[in-house]
Structure 1
Amino acid sequence: MNPGRLRHRITLQRFTKARNDFGEVIEEWEELGKCWAEVKPVNGKETFVAQQFVAQSTHEVWMRFRKDIKASDRVIDHHGNVLEIKTPIDIGGRGRQLKLLCRQVGF
């Protein structure tokens, strides 16, 4: 991995549920941490779903390996875009480099 390519500061988040003092369920995104990564837009397309056009943008996020990343987590990129993690891939299976296949949420 070329560390010079990790030039984007990203935030990793995980969806959590907890109960407050009144017993109400609070759902929020908890920050797992910030790290340096390379965010690359890979594909963009529009699909026709439920009689309306839905735009999807697919990204790859390359970063140093972390074993705590799940497919249900999300990334906030250096522009403030929200990227849902669809698949985390351990490149080479050696625990050195992680590639996240993501889908942009909203615009």
Structure 2
Amino acid sequence: MATAAFDPGGLTARLTLEAPVDTPDGQGGTSRTWSAVANLWARIEPVTAAVGEEAGGGRVTITHAIWMRHRSDVAAGMRLVKGARVFVVEMVHDPDESGRYLLCRCREEGR
């Protein structure tokens, strides 16, 4: 398998990796908060933007490919934060199985 052609100098976005923390709310449900796991450097590449309708209003869904150095603690359901921007991690994989980089497919919230 060929290795991913990737310039590590492209990791210019400073992101915070966050994991969900569910706390019982005392009435059978949970309350979700987010806990910072690590700060890391990454490369953010916009992939798609789609316009749809939800509850009678417009909704734009923007997806991104986010590259970072390999970490064993990144999983779907976590999120990456850059300032006010929030990227929900939907899929994580090692693009060339070399253990050097991770490629996360993410959906941006709040756009």
Report the TM range for the smaller structure's normalisation.
Answer: 0.7 to 0.9
Counterpart in the other structure of 1:100: 104
Candidates 8, 33, 39, aligned match of 1:34: 39
Query: What is the TM-score normalised by the length of structure 2?
Result: 0.82
C-alpha separation between the residues in 2 aligned to 1:64 and 1:18? 31
Note the alpha carbon deviations across 1:71-105, whole angstroms, 9 max, x for none.
0000002x430010010111112211100100011
C-alpha separation between the residues in 1 aligned to 2:99 and 2:21? 26
C-alpha separation between the residues in 1 aligned to 2:69 and 2:8? 9
> Unpaired runs of 5+ in structure 2?
1-5
Q: C-alpha root-mean-square deviation of aligned residues, in Å?
A: 2.0
Residues 46-85 of structure 1: pairs in structure 2 closer than 5 A: 46-77=51-82, 79-85=83-89
Counterpart in the other structure of 1:90: 94
Tell me the percent identity: 29
Query: What is the TM-score normalised by the length of structure 1?
Result: 0.85
Aligned residues: 104
